[in-house]
Chain A
Amino acid sequence: MKSNMIAAFFAVVLVATAGCTNIERSRNLADPTVPGRVLAMQVCSNCHGVDGNSVSPNFPNLAAQSEPYFIEQLNSFRKHSRLDPAGFEYMWGLSRHLTDEQIKDLAAYYAGQKVQSPAYPTGKLGQREAGKVLYAGGVPEKNILACATCHGPDGMGMQQFPRIAGQHADYLVKQLIVFQRTDERPEGAIMKVVAHDLTRDNIESVASYLESLPAR
């Protein structure tokens, strides 16, 4: 009797919910009617946080990200032109059926979020100070451009150039190495030139500095 009741109860739930899809709480990545904001809550938040501030440095912060840059990245994932493993392993599939409209929604949602100060900043003070010098002035003797030239004096980004202030240092280090050593991010080819002569210490210093920038 008990078994029949369990089965009957579940059958009722199945029938009652099968036909009434609640778009406001959908996790369906192939439904173009689900607003980007809903996907941000129901799916993207699992790694990137509800407000675009991710807990794990495995996943980049998306809060306050430049909309054009964000849109370009999701397009790159969707059309498989961004090839770095950390990106395609997670993002190719999730983005495969997103519509342009959903991507725009997502970009607007994250651009409107506030960056939080990192709860667990990495790097030492001396390293961050060296990173600040490199960020603002580059490495003239190696003809390495100042990062601030494109990303802005405070790392806030502009248009196609991403906001990198407040980003996880581990993520920045890994991406700089992707730019430096591979052609897996063709949309950021300019970074291959910039990062070409950076040492590991340069990379870690500038990443620590950027991660430590106060929330704005």
Chain B
Amino acid sequence: MDFVGAKVRRTSLHDHVLRVVLCLLGFALAAGNAYALPAFARQTGQNCASCHAGGQFPELTPYGRIFKMTGYTIGERMVPLSVMGVLSYAKVRDTTKTDDPTVDFQKNNSLMFATGSAFLAGKVTNNIGAFVQVTYNNYNSQSVGPNGELGRFQGHTQADNMDIRYADRFIDANRDLIVGLSVNNNPSVSDPWNSAAAWMQYTPNASPTSHQFVDGSFPGFGSGGNIAGATAYAYLNKSVYAELGLYGTANRAMSFMSAGIADVNRTKLGGTNPYWRLAYTREWGPHNIMLGTSGMVAHVFDAGSDTSDLNNRGRFKNFGLDSQYQYLLDPHAVTAQAAFMRQVTNYSQNTLNNFVPTYFQADGTLVGPANPSDTTNTFRAKLSYVYQAKYGGSVAFFNVRGTSNPLNQNSGFDAAVGGLVTTNDPNGTGITSTRVNGNLSGNPATRGFNYEGFWTPVQYVRVGVQYTAYNKFNGASDNYDGFGRNAKDNNTLRFYIWAAY
């Protein structure tokens, strides 16, 4: 993620509007208004814990999943608006092994208003409903002065998760069939299980680089979000769920799904990009389980490249397995999730053509040519417990393994100098190494644990503390960037206050 060096930009009107709304939210909460419920809760009149297991957003209960699959249409039509805000604080364990801590660990050790979202969410007709999220990032970019000095942060608003659906349900004593269509901008955002790639997450993270190590790695789809697709799904007898979809670039009539994202940053897809999902579910007593698989093939153009040149197009093939177990019996909510995602990346022809090996091995030999493809295997497991929908905690393990590739190396040795290439380039060769985010091995291996404790004093406010601990980062436990930085140096303590109205 590159948050630094962005051009100075004017704050737009909608940024101001969102700021005002979020300030009002803050005042409302500070005033102790206990009658506030987000849009879906207002629509059904129910407590958040009806749909969210133990009240922990975004994880759904069996009822919450049906609410989503039936197109957010249970209840009555209300003003479909909600807002959400996150205050966040992070402290990275070691901020000394860097050339510039103000760049590598922005806003370290300081509490800030990180991000806020506005939602257009709820029932539209008896068959159509929507979940449309627009997010304001208070630290989207940082101005740079004429002499390279860093200036103020600037906020920015853009499209976030969007899921607009049509659903119907055919149910009687012998059959229960839910069918639906979803138009969305993020593969698996339409999925009702929390172990799906788009949802196996914690409270929204902040973008300053002090937060870059929070949460660790997630199984995800190579295409990422801000694209546009349509999926069709069916859920039969609360037993088998199947979904099929196709994705493309979020442009033309679908450009609202990537609104606010500069064209150069918008994901451009070529050809047909299929997505699929299959899951088996079962409920017994207070228990329920899901075993699932999903996958996608995405043809993605290199960022900012000419989309008329197919040599700029790479391909991601994802195959995932995921499972979830819940025990929900008041006042207890236990959830166990495990997800695995294999991703095979085939780089674009131009990426490979333009790659010129620059680094040397420690023994003085030039690193090899780029491998045309890479495979990464990402695993994540999480166990959480919530008592009385108020007091909760979780522990998670994440592990990324994959092939090594000189293409992914951004630190290395210089045979001529006989040592590590420096982070600046005094000789004008255009070859530098990267500290903190450097990768000396070209291997993605990253492994660690997440620990979290939280308190939900009222159902729309959550206060939590997280600790992310690494024992491997960017391919190594020790000296992963070549400058002596170890994986555990990235361990991060985070504190947050999340609120929604």
- Residues of A in contact with B (beta carbons under 8 Å apart): 1-4, 6-10, 13-14, 17-18, 21-22, 25-31, 41-43, 45-47, 50-51, 55-58, 86, 89-90, 92-94, 96-97, 119-120, 170, 174
Task: Specify the main secondary structure of chain B where it touches its partner.
Answer: mixed
Q: Are A46 and B170 in contact (CB under 8 A)?
A: no
The verdict on B49 contacting chain A, using a C-beta distance below 8 Å, is: yes
Given contacts A56-B285, A90-B47, 5 further A-B contacts (CB under 8 A): A3-B252, A25-B170, A27-B70, A46-B74, A93-B41
Tell me the complex Cα distance, A86–B168, Å: 29
Q: Are A10 and B76 in contact (CB under 8 A)?
A: no
| Beta-carbon contacts under 8 Å, B126-157 to A | 126-128
Q: Are B330 and A25 in contact (CB under 8 A)?
A: no
Q: Which residues of A contact B181 (CB under 8 A)?
A: 10, 13
What is the size category of the interface that chain B forms with chain A? 35 or more
Distance in Å from the Cβ of A167 to the closest Cβ of chain B?
14
Taking A13-B181, A28-B126, A119-B285 as contacts, is the C-beta distance between A6 and B168 under 8 angstroms? no
Among residues of A, the one whose C-beta sits closest to the C-beta of B63 is A46
Among residues of A, the one whose C-beta sits closest to the C-beta of B174 is A50
Q: Are A10 and B164 in contact (CB under 8 A)?
A: yes
| Beta-carbon contacts under 8 Å, B27-52 to A | 41, 44-47, 49-50
Q: Which residues of A contact B75 (CB under 8 A)?
A: 27-30, 93-94
Q: Are B253 and A92 in contact (CB under 8 A)?
A: no
Among residues of A, the one whose C-beta sits closest to the C-beta of B181 is A13
Q: Name 7 interchain pairs, CB-CB below 8 A, sorted by A.
A: A6-B253, A18-B128, A41-B172, A56-B283, A56-B328, A89-B49, A90-B50
Q: Are A58 and B169 in contact (CB under 8 A)?
A: no
| Beta-carbon contacts under 8 Å, B54-96 to A | 62-63, 66-67, 70, 73-77
Q: Which residues of A contact B228 (CB under 8 A)?
A: 3, 6
Q: Which residues of B contact A50 (CB under 8 A)?
A: 171-173, 176
Q: Are B248 and A42 in contact (CB under 8 A)?
A: no
| Residue interface mask B159-189, A partner, CB < 8 A = 1 | 0000010101111110010000101000000
Q: Are B169 and A25 in contact (CB under 8 A)?
A: yes
- Residues of B in contact with A (beta carbons under 8 Å apart): 41, 44-47, 49-50, 62-63, 66-67, 70, 73-77, 123-128, 164, 166, 168-173, 176, 181, 183, 228-230, 246, 248-255, 283-286, 328-330
Q: Are A93 and B329 in contact (CB under 8 A)?
A: no
Q: Are A58 and B248 in contact (CB under 8 A)?
A: no
Distance in Å from the Cβ of A44 to the closest Cβ of chain B?
10
Interchain residue pairs A-B with the least CB separation, the first 9: A93-B45, A30-B76, A7-B253, A89-B47, A3-B254, A2-B248, A120-B285, A3-B252, A27-B74
Tell me the complex Cα distance, A97–B377, Å: 51
Tell me the complex Cα distance, A119–B246, Å: 41
Taking A13-B166, A42-B169, A86-B330 as contacts, is the C-beta distance between A92 and B126 under 8 angstroms? no
Q: Are B46 and A89 in contact (CB under 8 A)?
A: yes
Task: Specify the main secondary structure of chain A where it touches its partner.
Answer: helix
Q: Are A4 and B286 in contact (CB under 8 A)?
A: no
Q: Are B76 and A29 in contact (CB under 8 A)?
A: yes
Q: Are A55 and B284 in contact (CB under 8 A)?
A: yes
Taking A3-B249, A29-B76 as contacts, is the C-beta distance between A45 and B166 under 8 angstroms? no
Partner of B74, one of A9, A43, A119, A170: A43
Distance in Å from the Cβ of A78 to the closest Cβ of chain B?
11
Taking A58-B286, A94-B45 as contacts, is the C-beta distance between A29 and B74 under 8 angstroms? yes
Taking A6-B254, A9-B230, A10-B181 as contacts, is the C-beta distance between A55 and B173 under 8 angstroms? no
Q: Are A93 and B171 in contact (CB under 8 A)?
A: no
Tell me the complex Cα distance, A86–B45, Å: 14
Taking A3-B253, A46-B66 as contacts, is the C-beta distance between A17 and B128 under 8 angstroms? yes
Tell me the complex Cα distance, A174–B216, Å: 40
Q: Which residues of A contact B183 (CB under 8 A)?
A: 6-7, 10
Q: Are B44 and A21 in contact (CB under 8 A)?
A: no
Tell me the complex Cα distance, A190–B15, Å: 58
Tell me the complex Cα distance, A155–B326, Å: 32
Distance in Å from the Cβ of B222 to the closest Cβ of chain A?
19
Among residues of A, the one whose C-beta sits closest to the C-beta of B329 is A58
Among residues of A, the one whose C-beta sits closest to the C-beta of B72 is A27
Q: Are B248 and A93 in contact (CB under 8 A)?
A: no
Q: Which residues of B contact A170 (CB under 8 A)?
A: 286, 329
Distance in Å from the Cβ of A28 to the closest Cβ of chain B?
6
Tell me the complex Cα distance, A134–B286, Å: 27
Tell me the complex Cα distance, A22–B75, Å: 15
Q: Which residues of B contact A56 (CB under 8 A)?
A: 62, 283, 285-286, 328-329
Taking A41-B172, A57-B286 as contacts, is the C-beta distance between A4 and B66 under 8 angstroms? no
Q: Which residues of A contact B76 (CB under 8 A)?
A: 28-31, 97
Distance in Å from the Cβ of A77 to the closest Cβ of chain B?
10
Tell me the complex Cα distance, A21–B285, Å: 35
Distance in Å from the Cβ of B387 to the closest Cβ of chain A?
14
Tell me the complex Cα distance, A138–B181, Å: 56
Among residues of A, the one whose C-beta sits closest to the C-beta of B42 is A93
Distance in Å from the Cβ of A38 to the closest Cβ of chain B?
10
Taking A30-B76, A41-B172, A89-B46 as contacts, is the C-beta distance between A14 and B286 under 8 angstroms? no
Tell me the complex Cα distance, A30–B44, Å: 10
Tell me the complex Cα distance, A97–B44, Å: 11
Distance in Å from the Cβ of B303 to the closest Cβ of chain A?
19
Q: Which residues of A contact B328 (CB under 8 A)?
A: 56, 58
Tell me the complex Cα distance, A152–B282, Å: 35
Among residues of B, the one whose C-beta sits closest to the C-beta of A86 is B330
Tell me the complex Cα distance, A53–B125, Å: 30
Tell me the complex Cα distance, A47–B176, Å: 14
Q: Which residues of B contact A31 (CB under 8 A)?
A: 76
Among residues of A, the one whose C-beta sits closest to the C-beta of B282 is A55
Q: Are B74 and A47 in contact (CB under 8 A)?
A: no
Taking A27-B75, A47-B63 as contacts, is the C-beta distance between A3 and B255 under 8 angstroms? yes
Q: Are B329 and A6 in contact (CB under 8 A)?
A: no
Q: Are A14 and B128 in contact (CB under 8 A)?
A: yes
Q: Which residues of A contact B128 (CB under 8 A)?
A: 13-14, 17-18
Tell me the complex Cα distance, A118–B383, Å: 29
Q: Which residues of A contact B44 (CB under 8 A)?
A: 29, 93-94
Q: Which residues of B contact A27 (CB under 8 A)?
A: 70, 73-75, 126, 169
Tell me the complex Cα distance, A95–B49, Å: 17
Partner of A92, one of B45, B63, B164, B248: B45
Tell me the complex Cα distance, A42–B253, Å: 33
Distance in Å from the Cβ of A119 to the closest Cβ of chain B?
7
Q: Which residues of A contact B74 (CB under 8 A)?
A: 27, 29, 42-43, 46
